[in-house]
Amino acid sequence: DTAVSQTPKYLVTQMGNDKSIKCEQNLGHDTMYWYKQDSKKFLKIMFSYNNKELIINETVPNRFSPKSPDKAHLNLHINSLELGDSAVYFCASSQYGTEPDGYTFGSGTRLTVV
């Protein structure tokens, strides 16, 4: 299936741990994003990569580090997890300049920090 896929879907971890979320898209898009959705459903962009280059970097703690090994993958590594990091993290992809057509979200990774 053509899609944006994220792993894992659920992640429960203790404070202070380091964790990674992976995202892959097979839509041939050149731009990928990470969004954070809090408990009130507010969706906010964190990072965006275009052809492996960082183009959007919102005010996000340094503990969050995205990495794009190629334009089909965008991973998110989080160091020293805090309770406030609990949220649903969505990956998305698009073909730059053709948005909003084709802007596709993954199903999300539900992160719970205990």
Partner 1 sequence: QKEVEQDPGPLSVPEGAIVSLNCTYSNSAFQYFMWYRQYSRKGPELLMYTYSSGNKEDGRFTAQVDKSSKYISLFIRDSQPSDSATYLCAMSATSGSRLTFGEGTQLTVNP
Binding of partner 1 at residue 12 (CB under 8 A)? Answer: no
Binding of partner 1 at residue 96 (CB under 8 A)? Answer: yes
**Closest CB to partner 1 among residues 17, 98:** 98
Residue 23's nearest CA partner among 111, 97, 107 is 107
85 is written with which tokens? 């990091």
| Binding residues among 47-76 for partner 1 as defined by CB under 8 A | 48, 56
Binding of partner 1 at residue 4 (CB under 8 A)? Answer: yes
Residue at token pair 């990674």: 20
> Measured between alpha carbons, how far is 95 from 37 in angstroms, rounded to an integer?
22
8 cis-preceded (ω within 30 degrees of 0): yes
**Closest CB to partner 1 among residues 42, 84:** 42
Least distance to partner 1 from the beta carbon of 54, Å? Answer: 13
